[in-house]
Structure 1
Amino acid sequence: MNNIILRKETKEDFYDTEHMTMRAFWNLHGPGCNEHLLVHKLRESEDYLPELSRVAELDGRIVGAIFYSKAKVADGDTEHEVLTFGPLAVEPTCFNMGIGAKLLKETLALSKEAGYKGIVICGEPEYYPKHGFKTCDNFGIVHPAFGNSDAFMAYPLNDGFEEIHGTYYEAPVFETCEDEAEIEEFTKEFPYYKPLKLSCQWLHVEKLGRISEVQKNSFKIRFFEQELPAKLKGSFYEEDSEKWPVVGDYVTFLYNPNGECTILTVCERSSFLQRPDQAKTGVMQHMVANVDYTFIVTSLNDDYSFNRIARYASVALQGNSIPVAILTKSDLCNNVGRYVREVESISENIRVHAVSALLDIGLDELEEYFTPGTTICLMGSSGAGKSTLINSIVGSEVMKTSEIREDDSKGRHTTTHRQLIEVKEGVFIIDTPGMREIGMANTQDGIDDTFSDIVELIGRCKFSNCRHDTEPGCAIKAALESGELSRERYELYVNLGAENTRNYAMKKEISRWAKEMKKFKDKNNNWD
């Protein structure tokens, strides 16, 4: 605290103060924020009071700011001048350092000394009462939009404030920061942060971060540039494992700068990839969440497997992620076009690119996926060239690489656990350990999306329960005989579907058994 300096803002501080304010409010109460634009406009307002406003500086960096302006309370034809402040912003990576309290204490004293009767604010109801603020219904002051609420508060400064009653009006500048196009354009001047619309927003003491690493019951949360160690709130252990955080999840958490943070909730997911565990017990392994694209990386050497790519694609589509097949090391292949066409035949929903990182072939085609706000999941065998691919696109070594064994074209595991990595501003990669096998379970929708042509043919069969064997009017048989549908593709669809049904049944049985065991334990625990 001794290193924190409070002072007036200078022109040289403007950009840094606005950037800090943007970070402080970003995604706090909805997608993005507009407080940084308000600060920008407030300085030009005739109601702004720079003599009362202050910034907080720590080691040469702006870490807090409070902005005062004139407001009024009107009772009929009578108007009373009061103060308001806002925003009060604190750099999010400097919470729990008392910066906000220090800004408040000094500026409240300045305001009292200046002779103002009182302050009216809309602010955090769990914070400001600790500093002497009371709800405005104690003073007979109402808000023109919502009357009164716990967030509408006042602070008496000098004698006479108790005589002020009526409707509160803040400076007109506060009404000029709602245009979304203007906010978006102004925000482009600052580093990129993804706007998020989540049901878990409207945060108070909790913060919003993203899971960047999971190792057993140990978690890391990415909070702006910080990587914070975290643990689960106890109630998670009573939940189904599907509700536990995975890499890529957005979570609310209690910030602890001196130890482990506590994860409170997992926000709703835009995508969620899972697969059966490798022991083939039917238990689902929850992999990643909130990925826009799934890069299925396979090299055009002995690693290439049409069936494996189809499995990856089904898992991606089931999880609501767009599958993108990246065929690497195209410089080693004499018939790239054949492989591209073969992979394209897997599904109309899969995108295919053949590239060579060594010769810089096809990499420019992938740049469309590396736009701010995008998250990409990497899947593929060890040695497929995932790390080399990303390093080549980004132009720097952001991911570790390893050599492959020349005798069998198989690679060594560079990645040992899933992790979220920012490779460019606003672009994140979730790297996964190399997987040579991927099973099916609870992925029928993904399989159907992958083989949508076969699903359409099945819908044309004369009988709804057609087994596609000897029944008359079978569209599948006709397509196989005419060559419209290849025997290999149909057999892959059948095999994946059968595997999915088998593993899903096993999963349901394990789930049923687990519930029975829980009932048994609960019953025993209730015995006197």
Structure 2
Amino acid sequence: MSIIIRQETKEDYYKTELMTMRAFWNVYRAGCFEHYLVHMIREAKEYVPEISRVAEADGEIVGAIYYTRAKVVDGDAEHEVLTFGPLCVDPLWYDRGVGKRLLEETLELAREAGYPGVVIFGEPGYYPKFGFKNCACYGIFDSNGQNYDPFMALPLNSGFSEVHGRFEEASFFANCEDEEAVSEFNKKFPYVKPLELECQPLHEFRLGRIASVKKNIYTIKFWESEIPAKLKGFFYEKAAEELPIVGDYVTFELNPWGESVITSVCKRTSVLKRPDQAKTATDQYMVSNADLVFIVTSLNEDYSYNRIARYVSVALEGGVTPVVILTKMDLVEDAYSYVAEAETISPGLKVHAVSATMGWGLNEFREYLVPGVSICLLGSSGAGKSTLINALAGREVMKTAAIREDDGEGRHTTTHRQLIDLGGGVTIIDTPGMREIGLAGVDGGLEETFADILELEAQCKFSNCRHDTEPGCAIKAALRDGRLDPKRLELYRNLNAENTKNYAKKKEISKYVYQRRRAKGKTLEDF
């Protein structure tokens, strides 16, 4: 596809600003301000539109460079020079020579216009390829008298040999990071979540999000594209919890013509895991960086008070807020009795009854579908997760399948965990159906789920109270006066016992595996 380098027109303004936002978003900091800077540059008297250029491909703006006049002050002497910034390329056009063409063609225009040189703040790993050197080589320093690697200059004409002193760019640059102004300016563009990550600044790497994992094949969501990727070699020496999972933000080396390479996993804000169903000592890491978990269960044979409590505990253990969604409310006469029962699982737990096919109860989801939110869906096959996603999206984004009439169980329509862009800045993470979910090492999740019971236990007269025949037992008192449901107390005891037993078993298996590996590494001389 041919790339056209030309001057910008007013009709390009929105496209160019959006492209600039995409180019810098979350690269150096949470969000960016460079697209607002472009807006300010156009209105500045120092702007040099006759040299600035945009790159167009197939009718779309894929790159741009903006020049402004600046000066280098040496006592009473002032030397006019050029500076540029931002030089930007749409993320989906990286490594295709767009930036190179913009830079080379505009530098030639600046040279022909007679400017002595260009002074910039830029990537020290990129601009030296075009002849830029540290400003210290030319006796130029910044407004604070400092010099550093990103501060570079390029002579264009012989007059640059006379340029020495303090660099001063246009005054409007000092206002381009006004947070309030940038926030207001952002409202004209589609919402993209600003992320503050320890991997910033990214420099040569790109930032994306794991959209799906199938064995060793990873798919990265990178703006509107889904990019195939593989792991950097050192990942194969890492523990399971350090490998990328769906929902992870990752840095990667972009390869536009093949598999990209994942180089790091950014720190997670939350993670959902469960004991490995293969009964090994490891946990199965399912989803990361979710803000909410929609625990989806249908009001047919799938409904299980016990299973919902398990999901709630797993969500809370992972640092995610659980919300229970009771689907197919049109199948029962009194759906709200189920709502009332499920609400007793944990203090403050939100529960909603809906019928996605009938459109009942969907308005209640508006409070959750806010820009920037990531929602994970957990539940059994046939619970209606795919139908719910389609209803929330207002279009068919997931295939659906009818449940089996003989046992009321569903057929798998989701075969792997996947990240779905719902629109409006809302991300859904769908998961395959799970009939059961075990508990192991979710002490914190159980404590949050049954916080009221733990508070009662703390009020018992004896710290080792077994809530049987001991005097001054707060649990027995709560059972007598109806403040505590016996069914819920039994559920807590069962889940807590299972969690303790499975965790102990997990540690035992882990110890055995460690000893086996250690023994295999020994030689006869070690015995």
Q: TM-score range by the shorter chain?
A: over 0.9
Q: Counterpart of 2:189?
A: 190
Deviates more, 1:121-130 or 1:466-475: 466-475
- Quick one: distance in 2 between partners of 1:523 and 1:180? 60
C-alpha distance in 2 between matches for 1:450 and 1:94: 48
* Greater mean deviation of Cα atoms: 79-88 or 455-464: 455-464
Q: What is the CA–CA distance in structure 2 between the aligned matches of 1:290 and 1:194, rounded to whole Å?
A: 13
Instruction: Please tell me whether the aligned partners of residues 340 and 354 of structure 1 are also in contact (alpha carbons under 8 angstroms).
Output: yes
Q: Which moved more, 1:468-477 or 1:440-449?
A: 468-477
2:389 counterpart residue number: 390
1:286-301 pair list within 5 angstroms: 286-301=285-300
Cα distance, 1:304–1:254 mapped onto 2, change above 3 Å: same
1:354 CA displacement = 0.8
CA distance in 2, matches of 1:403, 1:110: 65
Rounded to whole Å, the distance in 2 between the matches of 1:520 and 1:116 is 73
Write the distance in 1 (CA, Å) between the matches of 2:136 and 2:519: 53
Query: Are positions 1:200 and 2:199 aligned together?
Result: yes
Q: Which SS does the other structure have where 2:43 is aligned? A: coil
Is 2:395 the partner of 1:413? no
Q: What secondary structure sits across from 1:6 in the alignment?
A: strand
Change (3 A) 1:70 1:451: same
Higher mean Cα deviation, 97-106 or 139-148? 139-148
Q: CA deviation at 1:34?
A: 0.6
Identical positions, percent = 62
Contact 2:16 2:61 in 1 (8 A): yes
> Counterpart of 2:214?
215
Counterpart in 2 of 1:88? 87
Residues 352-401 of structure 1, C-alpha deviation per residue, up to 9 Å, x if partnerless?
Answer: 10111232211100122122211111111111111111212221111110
Q: Is the deviation greater in 312-321 or in 159-168?
A: 159-168
How far off is 1:516 after superposition? 4.4
Q: Give the aligned partner of residue 284 of structure 1.
A: 283
What is aligned with 2:243? 244
| Residue 327 (structure 1) aligns with | 326
Cα distance, 1:438 vs. partner? Answer: 0.5
Report the Cα distance in structure 1 between the residues aligned to 2:20 and 2:318, rounded to whole angstroms: 36
- Deviations along 1:430-484, one digit per CA (max 9) or x if unpaired, are 1100011001112110111111101111111222233333333222232233332
1:518 shift after superposition: 5.2
Residue 39 of structure 1 is matched in structure 2 by: 38
C-alpha contact (below 8 Å) 2:121/2:150 kept by paired residues: yes
Other-structure match for 1:71: 70
Q: Deviations over 1:166-213 (max 9, x none)?
A: 111111121121221211111111112111111111011100000000
1:519 positional shift: 4.9
Do the aligned partners of 1:367 and 1:393 also contact (CA within 8 Å) in 2? no
SS at match of 1:352: strand
Alignment root-mean-square deviation, CA: 1.7
* Cα shift at 1:161: 1.6
- Count matched residues: 525
- Give 1:513 shift: 4.1
1:137 maps to 2:140: no
Question: Partner of 1:470: helix, strand, or coil?
Answer: coil
Q: Which amino acid aligns with 2:360?
A: I
The corresponding residue for 1:338 is 337
Aligned to 1:179: 178
Structure 1: state its 5+ residue gaps: none
Shift of 1:241: 0.8
- Counterpart-to-counterpart distance in 1, 2:101 and 2:517: 51
Q: Would the alpha carbon gap of residues 345 and 89 (structure 1) be closer, same or farther in structure 2, given more than 3 Å must change?
A: same
Cα pair distance change 1:146/1:229, threshold 3 Å: farther
Q: CA deviation at 1:280?
A: 3.6
* Residue 9 (structure 1) aligns with: 8
**SS of residue matched to 1:43:** helix
Shift of 1:239: 1.6
Partner AA of 1:204 in structure 2: H
Alpha-carbon deviations, 1:223-275, whole Å to 9, x = none?
00111111111111222111111100100111011111111111111111001
Counterpart contact for 2:281–2:510, Cα < 8 Å? no
Letter in 2 for 1:81: E
Q: Which segment drifts farther, 448-457 or 143-152? A: 143-152
Alignment-derived partner of residue 507 in structure 1: 506
Measured after TM superposition, the shift of residue 80 of structure 1 is 1.3
